[in-house]
A and B are shown apart, each in its own frame.
Chain A
Amino acid sequence: MARATHGWTNALFEAAVNQTIANSKVTVGYPYYWYNSWSLSYANGEAIHEESILESGVLQFTYSVAAALSYVQPCFSGDAFCELLGHPVRRHGNIESDDAANMAMASLAYLPLDVSMVQSGRLFGTRYGGNTPVFNSNDYLRVGWSYLRGTGEYGFRVAGKALDWLTSVPKTHWWIWGGPQ
């Protein structure tokens, strides 16, 4: 995974994160690395926000998850920057061995955000506009949004041949949210 490649210093990244935290009164949050850009997913009250504070086009920045986490302030109080479970983010961890765990945590943090993006989500979105959502492009099992012409709305469904054993009706769609109603 790439390290700082564009002259960004630890201090600049830390300042950017801290500024976001200060502006939004973050109580719990998690930074994640996704498609060559850095984002910060955090909770503010009951709302879940996502800030692409270090989008490559804006701040020309590339970091590995673990490397960047090591620049994040530890969790001192309710106003600190913590992992999802409230544990302090490690400031000086083993960068290589932490990558998998960090990516897993980052993915979990990203799930609700992606679902809320409906058609443009990179995990559960539709295939419009050349999008190739990870869980909604598979040939045999698709989980994600689908546009229903009948109602003109998007529904969240699980569908695919892999589910045919569940029912006598092939190609059944299991609507989790929305859909015909």
Chain B
Amino acid sequence: MEDDKVIIWAGPPPCPRTRFEAEVIRELEALVRALPAGTASLRIGRLRASPGLLEPEFDITPANPRAASVGGYAVADDLELVIGHAEQEFFRFARGGTIVRGASWQDELRWVWEVVVAGGFTQRQYFNKRGKLVGGYSKICLKGTEVVFSASRPQRLVGRAYASVKDVIYEPYF
């Protein structure tokens, strides 16, 4: 578990509780290492908000600042995945909770990764009154099925959602 330029272990290492939590990290390591050298780096650590928890959190930062970053965490058999500033929870991802019917979670994760690496997709980003970026909305297509990544306030039950929006087109990783 030594750091290199591609995989960076931050702080106390996570201690995966389930097989899925460990396998997600291995899967992401393989995806990032398969990129051309210097394209992106993967940071692995514990949840930054609660370092006392042992579940793994990850961040993939592309060298191209206009490409979309990828982050998230795995807990039990769930996956939280963030693309740019839009996030989505995949419930029971390890047990058939994929969007594409019949797909394995490894396949679906790789398909999302390929879309992100290829770039060219749009993300609507939401800003609050103080100009702070507070969420995003992206819709990507995986094998003919639309997947929405969104953590934006338009989904709230009450209250004004946002002050302004901006559409961003992410570039390829390389």
A84, B80: Cα distance in complex, Å? 39
Q: In the complex, which residue of chain A has the Cβ closest to the Cβ of B75?
A: A127
- Chain B contributes a number of interface residues (CB within 8 A of A) equal to 40
Stretch at the interface among A15-23, A59-67, A144-152: A144-152
Q: In the complex, which residue of chain B has the Cβ closest to the Cβ of A169?
A: B148
Q: Mark B121-163, 1 if CB is under 8 A from A, else 0.
A: 0000010100000110000000000111011110111000000
The distance from the CB of B118 to the nearest CB of chain A, in whole angstroms, is 22
Q: Does B48 reach chain A (CB closer than 8 Å)? A: yes
Q: Does B91 reach chain A (CB closer than 8 Å)? A: yes
The distance from the CB of B76 to the nearest CB of chain A, in whole angstroms, is 5
The distance from the CB of B45 to the nearest CB of chain A, in whole angstroms, is 12
Within 8 A of A (CB), among B72-100: 72-73, 75-76, 78, 80, 82, 85, 87-89, 91-92, 95, 97, 99
Q: Does A179 reach chain B (CB closer than 8 Å)? A: yes
Q: Does A126 reach chain B (CB closer than 8 Å)? A: yes
The distance from the CB of B132 to the nearest CB of chain A, in whole angstroms, is 9
Contact A171 B134 (CB under 8 A): no
User: Which of A119, A140, A170 is the one whose CB lies under 8 Å from B50?
Assistant: A119
Q: Does B30 reach chain A (CB closer than 8 Å)? A: no
A169, B57: Cα distance in complex, Å? 27
Q: Does B62 reach chain A (CB closer than 8 Å)? A: no
Known contacts A139-B91, A171-B88, A180-B135; A128 and B75 CB within 8 A of each other: yes
Contact B55 A128 (CB under 8 A): yes
Contact B80 A139 (CB under 8 A): no
Q: In the complex, which residue of chain B has the Cβ closest to the Cβ of A174?
A: B157
Contact B134 A150 (CB under 8 A): yes
Closest 5 CB pairs of A and B: A180-B135, A175-B156, A127-B76, A128-B53, A180-B134
Chain A residues in the interface with B (C-beta under 8 A): 119, 126-130, 137, 139-140, 142, 146-153, 159-161, 169-176, 179-181
